[in-house]
Structure 1
Amino acid sequence: MRNQRINIMEKGATALKAMYGLGAYLSKCSIETPLLNLIYFRVSQINGCAFCLDMHAKDMRAEGESEQRLYLLNAWHGAPFYSDRERAALAWAEAVTRIAGGDVPDEVYQQVRTQFSEEEIVDLTLAVTTINSYNRFNIAFRTTAGYYQPGDFAKLQ
């Protein structure tokens, strides 16, 4: 285990307030909370953010998400446990997260358009970019995983 560099909750409290505003909006947006949580978890898997994976897994379990869906999310393409809407959102989240090689492929955009309105796609994209930002803070500062308890951050939104 590597040592934490900066305690973002202490030293970055003012900066994080801006991020909490995004979280507050997303908690009331057009995308259902269980789907947002799947997106947060999947993007955190892609980015390798231990803190966010620990946090979201605990929150998702507390909210009734099945172990099976959590365990197989990394292989969602081949698992039968996700709806067409979830699959479209997961494909969109992966493409937006891995955008360094160009843009989001047309086929991914067409897939997401079959399941989401334009407003929902904007909200979905905001969710993806927000969790990517949190991942980057936690990875850069090596935020220690394992101490989070379900609901710890609910009061911040």
Structure 2
Amino acid sequence: MEKRVDINETAPQAYKAMYALEGYLATTQLSKTHKELLKIRASQINKCAYCINMHTTDALKNGETPQRIFLLNAWRETDLFTEEEKVILAITEEITLIHNHGLSDEVYKKATQLFDESYIAQLIMAVVTINAWNRIAISTNMQIEK
């Protein structure tokens, strides 16, 4: 792939703003498992190899199982994920694919039965943030380290 602009080098203030979002997410109630699952799933949908590689590696380091990672794109067809995780994955998919119909009332209602408003807000911000990172990585041809 052709080398493209390095935004971190060329526009460091933009990266600083993105890292501020990551800093916020690090202070939230979101569990590492929840954060990594939604980051991997959004990155799969967006076909961001750089982020898939990063977040599957991080998830494995945090104790996630290879089997759950392998089956993440088919989460609806397995009982390996908790009810909470399934709602988080549904939120992730609907926000990532916002052009389809947005975050549906059905999924949002399920979320309100499992999480408080603060946790839901944190989930939404985590999904928005990984989608932004995916777009940066894909647009700039960021390459995974071998």
Q: Same fold (TM over 0.5)?
A: yes
Instruction: Give how far 1:63 is off.
Output: 1.4
Percent of residue pairs bearing the same amino acid type: 37
Q: Deviations over 1:51-79 (max 9, x none)?
A: 10111111111111100011000100111
Contact 2:44/2:73 (CA < 8 Å) preserved in 1? yes
Q: What is the RMSD of the two structures over their aligned residues, measured on CA atoms?
A: 1.2
The corresponding residue for 2:85 is 86
Contact 1:51/1:144 (CA < 8 Å) preserved in 2? yes
Q: Deviations over 1:33-53 (max 9, x none)?
A: 211110011000000011101
Instruction: Give how far 1:11 is off.
Output: 2.1
Higher mean displacement: 15-24 or 97-106: 97-106
Q: How many residues align?
A: 146
Amino acid at match of 1:90: L
Distance in 1 separating the partners of 2:53 and 2:8: 16
Identify which of structures 1 and 2 has the higher relative contact order when contacts are C-alpha pairs closer than 8 Å and 6+ apart. 1
The corresponding residue for 1:56 is 55
Distance in 2 separating the partners of 1:122 and 1:55: 24
Contact 2:2/2:141 (CA < 8 Å) preserved in 1? yes
TM-score, normalized by length of structure 2?
0.94
Distance in 2 separating the partners of 1:4 and 1:125: 32
Higher mean displacement: 105-114 or 4-13: 4-13
Higher mean displacement: 6-15 or 70-79: 6-15
Instruction: Give how far 1:24 is off.
Output: 0.9
TM-score, normalized by length of structure 1?
0.88
Instruction: Give how far 1:4 is off.
Output: 2.8
Distance in 2 separating the partners of 1:69 and 1:95: 20
Give ranges in structure 2 of 5+ residues lacking alignment. none
Instruction: Give how far 1:113 is off.
Output: 1.3
Q: Deviations over 1:121-145 (max 9, x none)?
A: 1100000000000000011111111
The corresponding residue for 1:72 is 71
Distance in 2 separating the partners of 1:34 and 1:106: 25
Q: Deviations over 1:62-111 (max 9, x none)?
A: 11110001100010011111111100111011111111133321111111
Give ranges in structure 1 of 5+ residues lacking alignment. 148-157
1:134-145 matches, cutoff 5 A: 134-145=133-144
Instruction: Give how far 1:10 is off.
Output: 2.1
